[in-house]
Amino acid sequence: MTDEDRLQQMIGELRRMREQCEPKSNQNSRYLRYSNAVSALRWIIDDLAKERAAQPAAFDDVSAR
């Protein structure tokens, strides 16, 4: 499982927890914090994807044969 997969699972769990909040509004501080946490994790996933794309391709022993 990749770091991105693990973060996606965390996002799903946070969203489920956020849905239990009442009222479902950014006026509710806990609901807002869950939303902010989801956004932060999505930014991290994007950063990891950009870093991976910027890395040179790994040498593949099979293609050298």
Q: What is the pLDDT of residue 54?
A: 94
Is residue 52 classed exposed, middle or buried when 0-12, 13-18 and 19+ CB atoms within 10 A define those classes?
Answer: exposed
Q: What is the pLDDT of residue 57?
A: 74
What's the whole-model pTM score? 0.80
Alpha-carbon span 41 to 8, nearest angstrom: 8
Alpha-carbon span 20 to 36, nearest angstrom: 16
Phi-psi region of 51 (alpha: psi -120 to 50; beta: other; left: phi over 0): alpha
Q: How confident is the model at residue 58 (pLDDT cuts 50, 70, 90)?
A: low
5-43 per-position pLDDT tens digit: 999 999 999 999 999 999 999 999 999 999 999 999 999
Q: How confident is the model at residue 56 (pLDDT cuts 50, 70, 90)?
A: confident
